[in-house]
A and B are shown apart, each in its own frame.
Chain A
Amino acid sequence: AQKVTQAQTEISVVEKEDVTLDCVYETRDTTYYLFWYKQPPSGELVFLIRRNSFDEQNEISGRYSWNFQKSTSSFNFTITASQVVDSAVYFCALSEAGFGNEKLTFGTGTRLTIIP
């Protein structure tokens, strides 16, 4: 069975600080996908990134960066120079490869608060 653990329930940082959100996953498959979604107070889940298990390259998109390490089953998310608009709940999710579009298994989320 697949599982995603986000051990950090809540994080608060002062604006412009860097912050890293941790994600650890479990799966028996060798082929899988990892995702990060952002959920602002409005409730809609906003897609941020998708990574497949064969691509361990780290990725940077503006102030966002992701560190995928298969050796430790981790897919961590770093926000550089945080802004108030980054305040939200962030979810890491796992999907196993297979026929068609497989279900997403989510972690419990990390609530990030950026203090002005």
Chain B
Amino acid sequence: DAGVTQSPTHLIKTRGQQVTLRCSPKSGHDTVSWYQQALGQGPQFIFQYYEEEERQRGNFPDRFSGHQFPNYSSELNVNALLLGDSALYLCASSLWVLGPIGAKETQYFGPGTRLLVL
């Protein structure tokens, strides 16, 4: 049973460039969430995709955008890169569940993509 996979593992870009990160969810999962983790900090929620739509968004500028494909995989795009965008980008997958509190599903994380902006 394959877990969450992300590509690439590492990436180096320069300021002003654009980057695309990719994520394949765990088998059986249909929801993908993206988090940014700066060095020494906890992960910060960027956005979440379900049914190819952005369902929730954290406090990130429009330079951060995403997409979800019919096979549930997802991309995170960042335009006009800034030095401050250097971080570990984590993808998490889960199964979208509606209903009582006991039915909420856990998010499982991938290994992340380390982005360095020079």
Interface size on B, residues (CB 8 A): 33
- Residues of B within 8 Å of A99, CB to CB, are 98
Q: Are A104 and B45 interface neighbours, CB within 8 A? A: yes
Which stretch of B16-24, B50-58, B66-74, B75-83 is in the interface? B50-58
In-complex Cβ contact of A109 among B42, B102, B105 (8 A): B42
- Which of A47, A53, A105 meets B108, CB within 8 Å? A47
Please indicate the chain B residues that have their CB under 8 angstroms from the CB of A54 in the complex.
Answer: 101
Give Cα A52–Cα B41 distance, bound, in whole angstroms.
Answer: 25
Q: Output the residue of A53, A54, A93, A106 with the most chain B CB within 10 A.
A: A106
Chain B positions within 8 Å of A93 at CB level:
42
Given A44-B109, A45-B43, A100-B96, A52 contacting B56 (CB threshold 8 A): no
Which stretch of A30-38, A60-68, A74-82 is in the interface? A30-38
* Interface residues in chain A, defined as those with a beta carbon under 8 Å from any beta carbon in chain B: 4, 31, 33, 35, 37, 42-47, 50, 52-54, 91, 93, 95, 97, 99-109
Q: Which residues of B contact A (CB under 8 A)?
A: 31, 33, 35, 40-45, 48, 50, 55-56, 58, 88, 90, 92, 94, 96-98, 101-102, 104-112, 114
